[in-house]
A = this chain, B = another copy of it.
Amino acid sequence: QRLGMVEAIWGEHKSAEQIARILEELHRAGELALVTRVSPEKAEAVAALLGRERGEAWLLQHHPQARCLSAGLLPSPESRLGRVAVLSGGTSDLPVAAEAQLALACHGIATELVLDVGVAGLHRLLERLEDLRHADVLIACAGMEGALPTVLAGLLPQPVIGVPVAVGYGVSAGGVAALHGMLASCAPGLTVVNIDNGYGAAMAALRILGCGPGRSAAWTQGS
């Protein structure tokens, strides 16, 4: 918690036993916990290991879209802390966008999801532009050629965090084409996180929302 962030556990390479043990420790310490990259089967196994009742008492919850497990009470969102818009090019990017939204929700940050605004159908993005002006930070998730954050950062002045998504095939399989497209972007001031790293984008947004004099005040009150 040194950094004021909720404890997050990367679940992908951990067994249900290892996850259950970590959750018990965090529960004893009275901390909210977020486990990412958890399949429905593994979530089920963790719940079984902890026992039905304990799971309920701990508010253990599986978020299938975000592929996450949370344990503890999620704070209610406070718009005073800032607004984050999470955009995505298509339905296939949803799990990554949902991971970012949940990670922010764990810190009481409200998010808005703006779906299906891929650059091959530019009008859909342009229609949403006015709404987006009200966001403090923009998180843009995109697979394939990953051009969405580039176009966005050319249209709006806020911080834009690009999240390449491992959706695609051929040269875009694995998300490297999207990653390189975002890093190579001709739009000034776009920053990028690892492929599929919705959680990391959320934490970067959190760092931004908490930064600077005006903000700090709001944040000090807020937490």
Interface residues of A (CB under 8 A from B): 2-5, 8, 10, 12-14, 18, 22, 37, 82, 89-92, 118-123, 136-137, 144-147, 150-151, 153-161, 164, 166-197, 199-218
> Which single member of B3, B151, B153 contacts A151 (CB below 8 Å)?
B151
Complex Cα gap A37–B158 (Å): 26
Number of copies: 8
**Closest B residue to A93 using CB positions:** B13
Chain B minimum-CB-distance residue to A167 = B13
Complex contacts, A218 vs chain B, CB 8 Å:
212-214
Q: Are B194 and A159 in contact (CB under 8 A)?
A: no
With a CB–CB cut-off of 8 A, which chain B residues contact A181?
Answer: 145-147, 177, 180-181, 184
Rounded to whole angstroms, the CA-CA distance of A155 and B151 in the bound complex is 14
Q: Residue of B at shortest CB range from A83?
A: B212
Residues of B within 8 A of A90 (CB): 10, 186
Shortest Cβ distance from A187 into chain B, in angstroms?
4
Residue of B nearest to A12 (CB): B169
Indicate whether A161 sits within 8 Å of B10 (C-beta atoms), given known contacts A178-B184, A182-B145: no
CB distance from A179 to the nearest CB of B (A): 7
A179 touches B171 (CB 8 A): yes
Chain B residue, CB-CB nearest to A153: B120
C-alpha gap A47/B203 in the complex (Å): 41
Cβ contacts A to B, 7 pairs, < 8 Å = A120-B188, A144-B185, A145-B145, A147-B150, A159-B204, A180-B180, A212-B214
Contact A207 B158, CB 8 Å, known A13-B167, A184-B168: yes
Minimal beta-carbon separation of A6 from chain B (angstroms): 10
Write the chain B residue with the least CB distance to A165. B13
Q: Which residue of B lies closest to A166 (CB)?
A: B170
Q: In whole angstroms, what is the CA distance A174 to B147 when docked?
A: 19
Inter-chain contact B189/A194, CB cutoff 8 Å: no
Distance to closest chain B CB from A213 (angstroms): 6
Please give, as numbers and ranges, the residues of chain B lying within 8 Å of A146 by CB-CB distance: 145, 181, 184
